[in-house]
Chain A
Amino acid sequence: MDFEFSEDQKILRNSVREFLSIECPTSTLVREMELDPQGYSPGLWKKMADMGWLGIVFPEEYGGTGQKYMDLTVLLEEMGRSCVPGPFLSTMLCGLLILWAGNQQQKQTFLSDLIHGNSVLALALLETDGRYSADAISLKAHPDSDNYILNGTKMFVSDAHIANHIICAARTANDQAYPEQGITLFILHAGSPGLICSSLGSDTIARDKIFRMDFIDVQIAKNHILGELHLGWPLVQRLIEHGAIAECARMLGGAKRVLEMSTAYAKERMQFGRPIGAFQIIQHHLVDMLTLLEGSHYITYQAAWKLDEDMLCAREVSMAKAWVSDAYNEICINGHQIHGGIGFTQDHDMGLYFRRAKAQEINYGDADFHRDILAGEIGLI
């Protein structure tokens, strides 16, 4: 048992942090991208690709570095700390789906491009009722000679507007008793005819660029099925687990930054002739934040470790996502309380984290969603 990072992981973290402090400051690029319709910097994307970040979890034969999900988690934590905008997470997760389920041709076609920073991928999973469950997938895919015809609606698709390819979970067979069966993954070109992308607004809470996608008789070749017909749900489930931990990593990074800012502020802000950090109740707020944070750290990395070991870990993943989701939001609320009025101004970074805490909680299942899963995991009938 080892509760410390390896030397390589420490080096990775330090280099990422240094890079991002220069290339992605919260004072400039992050705020600019919130207002920018594209929402990400292609220049930064290329630099990230050149640093090998896009290839961390992919094999060397495609240009990756064959590292572990744990290493990606370290990277994501730093990206969360720096509020890095753009399609990194969805591209990574789509890449993993291709790695797990793609045939040789698909892996060759998609992975190398992705790793070298030449393509962006988006994941179309949620539908209009916004649930991460098999029975919520109703977008239909009908077979028609060599193709499938897709009709239906996907919601909350991140970065669909800049994606080159979309991975979509569709229903190819309907058995009401077993909704987990009959789900198939398709990979399609973002410009496919019949695919209509509508922005969900430029004022989303974290200024993420998210979209509704209407599929109107969208034709996809049968060889664009990822994995096996009707058997896509286990992949989606595993993907949701990875996505949940990826968001935990980002939330963890943001939470650490919030505690850092709040502690620093408490030491320098003077009222009543002393720093407010000398008042016990402020101290205890910060201590509560630290407790939530330390719990978040270990529970996230434990889940990442289990995913790397290919273990069944629905319990650990859901525990992590539930805890960290609650913790990050709570840490932000306390952070605002400690900063007082100044933290409530747009110029201050507190608002960046507060807004992201909500968005990142939502992705891949919020705290209640995961608590629901856990009821079964702890043996409640």
Chain B
Amino acid sequence: MDFKFTAEDETFRQEVRAFIDKELPPDWTGSPWVGEPEKETEESWQFAREFTHKMQAEKGWLTMHWPKEYGGHGASAVKQCILYEEIGFSRAPLVDIYGPNMVGPTLIYFGTEEQKKEHLPRIKGGQVIWTQGFSEPDAGSDLVSLKTSATEEADHFVINGQKTWSSIAHYADWMFILVRTDPHAAKKHEGLSLLYLDMKTQGITYTPLINIARGHTFNEVFFENVRVPKNNLIGEKNKGWLLAMATLNFERAFGIGRVGQINRWIKELVGYVNEKKQRGELIPAEALVREHLVQLSIDSEVLRLLAYRVIYEQSKGRIPSYEASIQFAFGAELMKRLFKTGMQILGPYSQLGMESKWAKLKGLMQRDYLYTPALTLAGGTTEIHKNIIASRGLGLPRSH
């Protein structure tokens, strides 16, 4: 057991901070949700895209954990953790976590050489945006019951159906999609295949879904006779379920960015409370406020260790399953408590938004608080995560 940050790690941390400080405007208020920048303006979206591209072009950090043969640096687990912690803390925008962390590794492990040659360089270059096509209106937690079909022709699959909750599909270049290729399979999960498709393909349309925070982050996507080359099949036909589970696991393994975000907010709230005290202002229920902030910081440290542990496991070539779910579910619930506390601390000012010049902390607390119901839903509901932990982590029988 060794928790050391080496001198090299610290140098890397400073390098990341320097890059972010240089590239991020001081008044940047872009969404902290890595990969889901809130489209306040076209400019902020464009900036997010450029920032990501620049980071990849100059530093290659987002794919540094990839094997060297695919352009990675074979970077250590610690460095990945440091990168995402700093990005989370600075609220820097990343337009695509799917590419470097889900699609890329899936292709590296399961793709053909041709597929790798086509896609990995572009992901590494930060030149593409990927979106996920998994959930459907009738297939959320019960994903395996999905109905979007892909019928096989000579050289193509023809896709018909509908996906929902596709984040940034409205900007995406590519989608990785789970489809039903065998509607007659004995078990539902045995008839699914994982494909990728070009979002410019004829027959794809989308409808924006505006969330309660007035943000356009996700969409319904419709497929009408969308012809996809057979080469776009990842792995084997009808064996897509396990691949999809692997990609979902890569997604939820990604909790370390939240640690940075949480610590940034704790720092701002501590500063806010201290400044009030220094001005001689009374803080209502001060003892409770202090206790909440202390407990949040303890929980944040636990989350950090659990998130590091997942990245460590991956760096050893192991595939964490329940471990990823543990930190994901814990992190989601922790963030909910963070924003609940934050809103309480701001009192009546908490209701003001980013447009108000009287808002405290730039009105960002209200915006982030409005996203909290999604935290325990997106990336797998907490209930599903707990089911996974129960079966994979504790060996308990299926409850449903």
Contacts and interface: CB of A to CB of B under 8 A. Distances in A.
A277 B397 contact: yes
Contacts of B394: 263, 283, 286-287, 290
B300 to A, nearest CB: 9
Nearest to B389: A287
Nearest to B9: A1
Interface in B291-315: 291, 293-295, 297-299, 301-302, 305-306, 308-309, 312-313
Contact of A2 (B1, B274, B298, B329): B1
A275 interface: yes
Interface stretch (A87-95, A143-151, A300-308): A300-308
B286 to A, nearest CB: 10
A267 B309 contact: no
A2 B2 contact: yes
Interface string B364-391: 0000000000000000000100110110
A141 B301 CA distance: 41
A177 interface: no
A302 B274 CA distance: 29
Interface residues of A, number: 45
Contact of A1 (B78, B267, B400): B78
B397 A275 contact: yes
Contacts of B299: 323
B84 to A, nearest CB: 15
Nearest to B6: A1
Given A1-B77, A277-B397, A280-B400, A287 B390 contact: yes
A322 interface: yes
A75 to B, nearest CB: 14
A291 B326 contact: yes
B389 A3 contact: no
B273 A3 contact: no
B2 A280 contact: no
Interface in A231-290: 263, 266-267, 274-275, 277-280, 283-284, 286-288, 290
A299 to B, nearest CB: 6
A183 to B, nearest CB: 27
B386 A305 contact: no
B305 A381 contact: no
Given A375-B294, A378-B294, A381-B277, A1 B2 contact: yes
A294 interface: yes
B57 interface: no
A1 B312 contact: yes
B154 to A, nearest CB: 46
Of B302, B326, B383, the most chain A CB neighbours within 10 A belong to B302
B194 to A, nearest CB: 28
A299 B299 CA distance: 10
B60 to A, nearest CB: 21
B400 A302 contact: no
Interface string A350-381: 00000000000000000000010011001111
B302 A263 contact: no
B3 A305 contact: yes
B396 A299 contact: no
B192 interface: no
A187 interface: no
B329 A291 contact: yes
A295 B305 contact: yes
Contact of A278 (B4, B78, B393, B398): B398
B312 A3 contact: yes
Contacts of B386: 283-284, 287-288
Contacts of A375: 290, 293-294
Given A279-B399, A295-B305, A323-B298, A290 B389 contact: yes
A4 interface: yes
A5 B295 CA distance: 28
Contacts of B389: 287, 290-291
Please list the 3 inter-chain residue pairs (A to B) with the smallest Cβ-Cβ separation, ordered nearest first: A283-B390, A298-B305, A295-B302
Given A278-B399, A287-B389, A290-B389, 18 more contacts: A1-B2, A1-B4, A1-B312, A2-B1, A9-B1, A267-B396, A277-B396, A280-B399, A283-B399, A291-B389, A294-B309, A294-B323, A295-B330, A301-B1, A323-B299, A379-B267, A379-B271, A379-B274
20 contacts: A1-B76, A1-B308, A3-B308, A5-B1, A263-B395, A277-B397, A278-B397, A283-B390, A283-B394, A283-B399, A291-B326, A294-B309, A295-B306, A298-B302, A302-B305, A305-B3, A371-B291, A374-B294, A378-B297, A380-B274
Interface of A: 1-6, 9, 70, 263, 266-267, 274-275, 277-280, 283-284, 286-288, 290-291, 294-295, 298-299, 301-302, 304-306, 309, 316, 319, 322-323, 371, 374-375, 378-381
